[in-house]
Copies of this chain bind each other. A is one copy, B any other.
């Protein structure tokens, strides 16, 4: 088997190049808008900067807590304690726990899924598209385990077929079935199997680093092997599945986790 990792673009390796800030912070946008009005602008900028920093602290705290416990397992008080921000201040930034959770989802998952779609535009074969999405997702979790935990905590449920990464997967699986590229005997169980396998690969990468004595290790090309295996579930023979899953990945500006850089 070829060492697939060597053919990866930088954004898919363990040290992704941060190419793209997926969502400008409110403060940043205002800073640009107010650049022409210097004297009033300076004060506004300082205040905006503080606001932006507090908002980021809250977002980072919520991300870490919700990655570990899911949204339901976290109280606003937990978030403000972890962010070292007064409880009441929370409401200056977010109207509710659901709102901060939704903001995290929008910034970390919806933008990611939209970027995967750009990647998908570069390949025409539905099998290669699903394999590329799966490889990027699993490799992304290897590079950014907080992101990976958040995806696992929030996407391993049926709701993700409507509001999470699962709905992109469902669409891509159906496209491949309609094109007679995939063999489908039962759609529900096929989507369960393919979606769960991607999350299982992500889980393997995310939890591996926490278990130094893991007897199973994790080969560098696990993302490719998991992707090839799921292509066999979709009806492709292994030789073709492996050939597709070990092709060089298309180069695409995938979003980085804007909350990851300074998070513990």
Contact = CB atoms under 8 A, between A and B. Distances in A.
Interface of A: 68-70, 72-73, 152, 156-159, 161-162, 183, 185-186, 188-190, 192-193, 195-197, 199-201, 203-204, 207-208, 211, 214-216, 218-219, 222, 225-226, 228-230, 232-233, 238, 242
A226 B189 contact: yes
A201 B225 contact: no
A92 B121 CA distance: 62
B229 A192 contact: yes
Contact of A222 (B73, B189, B208, B218): B189
B186 A225 contact: yes
A65 to B, nearest CB: 9
A207 B158 contact: yes
Given A68-B72, A193-B197, A233-B229, A188 B218 contact: yes
Contact of A156 (B156, B190, B197, B216): B156
A188 B225 contact: yes
Contact of A158 (B152, B183, B196, B208): B208
B186 A196 contact: no
A160 to B, nearest CB: 10
